[in-house]
Amino acid sequence: MDRLTIRQKLYAVFGALIAIFACMSIYAGYTLHAINSNAMCIATEHLNNVLALSQADRALAIYRQAEYSMVSATSLSGQVYASEEMRGLAGQMDITFDNIEPMLTGDKADAFQEMRQKWSAYEKGRTRLEELVLTGQHDAALQEMASSEAAYQELDWDLGIIVDQSKDFIQQETNVAADRYQDAKILFLVLTIVVLVLSVSMALYLSRTIQRSVQYLMGISQEVADGNLTVPVEVQTQDEFGELTAA
């Protein structure tokens, strides 16, 4: 540093500070982008999956109610209406499952496929139930409903577990994003403190360098003023003060 001019020293100090601030800004931008991307992924994919699964869970309950409505209906029109409602709900659930299944991986995908196989087996019973109702076999239809109760409860339980797992996954991802944001805040604070310390240190070093040169020149000037024209002069730096000392 002694070989640099004062202007070069200032450039070096400010250049170092600008470089540090640039690195901090790049890191902060990258971290915030990663956190934002993770949050967007949760909002657009996983949250949509949870909403779709929750709707499928409600549709399953309505489907079961429609089965009871069809069995208990006293008119043909009521039976047909309930049957059509069941068909619509079944189609809605199949579309929902088709959209969600490609997004699942690992154990979640296996559990979902097992649940869907149970749904397919349960949904096939609609044809048998419709046949019994439309042919007037009321008692047999009630027995069919009673025998399918266990399958419905198991299906509803499995679908509820998948919904809860998806909610837990969103919560975990949210916690991870919050932790990363907190870590980024702490690191950014530490880097800010480091920059401030370096700034103060550089400023003090530059100030002491200038002060030392000024004091040295003042000492020589005082010796000359006292009549000592043979005072030895030593050039200590290569900056403007060094040039002034050499002159």
Amino acid at position 2, single letter: D
Element (DSSP H or E) covering residue 53: helix 47-72
Give the separation between CA 119 and CA 238, rounded to whole angstroms. Answer: 86
Tokens at 149, concatenated: 């109760």
- State the pTM of this model: 0.59
CA distance from start to end of the chain: 21
Q: What is the pLDDT of residues 158-200, one digit of tens each?
A: 888 888 887 777 777 777 777 777 877 787 788 788 878 877 7
| CB atoms near residue 186 (< 10 Å) | 10
Q: What is the pLDDT of residues 47-89, one digit of tens each?
A: 777 888 888 888 889 999 999 888 888 888 888 888 888 889 8
Q: What is the pLDDT of residue 204?
A: 79
Which has the closest alpha carbon to 126: 93, 162, 98? 93
By the 8 A CB rule, do 89 and 108 touch? Answer: no
* pLDDT class of 242 with cuts at 50, 70, 90: low
